[in-house]
Structure 1
Amino acid sequence: MVSRMFRIETEVDKARRDLLRQRLRDTNAAASPILRALRGTPGERERPLHVWALDTAGGLAGGLVGHTWTTWLHVTYLWVDDRWRGAGVGSQLLATAETVSRDERGCVDSRLETWDFQAPEFYKRQGYEVVCVIPDYPPGITEYTLTKRIG
């Protein structure tokens, strides 16, 4: 049972979220030599990375959304329109993100998550290795975490 001195809220409060994130980062930095060393450097903060593939009419053929942090690229979303699948668009999006992350941001590794019905085999062909498998996440589906050395 939660004490009366606490109030449970389920609404999004961006200011509190940001405060919580900063306090967690402060706690993590105090406990980790590498995170302490990164304090105040460009590698300390997450930097968004978006790569877009447009068709000849300017429509969205595919895209990759992720971010870089410390020495890692984290691919959050990669999607290719059905009309462009099999044409190398996904490979080009991923390769571009890896190149920018490595050459411009100093990343040496990449990570991503995918479900069994999405693209684990595609990522393996791109050199990614499965490092974690979570069955039934969500029920009936398996989630994979994959990583790749890019630097």
Structure 2
Amino acid sequence: MTVEDAAVGPSVQVGGEDEELSERLDRELTALNARATGAGKPDEFSIRATDDAAELAGGLTGWVWGTLCGVDALWVREELRHTGWGTRLLRAAEAEAVRRGCTDMLLSSYSFQAPDFYKRLGYRETGRLDGIPGGHQAVYLQKTLDAG
């Protein structure tokens, strides 16, 4: 088989970031998920926290899909950690989720990040995955939201 022959038939190619491929996969999987669940594409949202000097104190990004809200990222500036900013951000996300009709929230954290923080705020651990660099674990958490 020549190099030209290999390029004609089916192939698998490994490369760096491929924005076109990522967008196509997102469209295809979103369509599949919508057909299976009746819920459309997840609706992304963000919450920005600023300090008294109008500097970024922290933020949260997430999504709503049907009655499920997921947190992609929650970050607080290092010198402001343990001062309530994380709680304020997560509570704001929970309130937004309830406003949008969500009944559950899910998120993940690495074992070296903040799983205990989330547990203190009512999240329950639903699973752990070994294999994170440095001997750490991925921790998955869920919370049923109170609409009242």
TM-score, length basis structure 1: 0.82
1:18 is aligned to 23
1:86 is aligned to 82
2:30 touches 2:41 (CA, 8 Å); kept in 1? Answer: no
1:41 is aligned to none
* Residue aligned with 1:121, SS: helix
* Residue aligned with 1:135, SS: strand
1:60 CA drift (Å): 1.1
Matched residue pairs, number? 139
1:138 CA drift (Å): 2.8
In structure 2, relative to structure 1, the CA distance for the partners of 1:123 and 1:23 (3 Å cut) is same
* Residue aligned with 1:110, SS: strand
2:108 is aligned to 113
Does 2:64 align with 1:68? yes
TM-score, length basis structure 2: 0.83
Letter in 1 for 2:20: A
CA-based RMSD: 1.9
Does 2:55 align with 1:50? no
1:110 CA drift (Å): 0.7
Task: State the Cα deviation string for residues 57-110 of structure 1 (Å, max 9, x = none).
Answer: 11111111112122111111111123222221111100001101111x211111
Within 5 Å, give how 1:23-42 maps onto structure 2. 23-30=28-35, 32=36, 35=37, 37-38=38-39
Unaligned runs of 5+ in 2: none
* Residue aligned with 2:133, SS: coil
* Residue aligned with 1:130, SS: strand
In structure 2, relative to structure 1, the CA distance for the partners of 1:73 and 1:128 (3 Å cut) is same
Give 1 or 2: higher strand fraction.
2
Does 2:141 align with 1:141? no
In structure 2, relative to structure 1, the CA distance for the partners of 1:13 and 1:109 (3 Å cut) is same
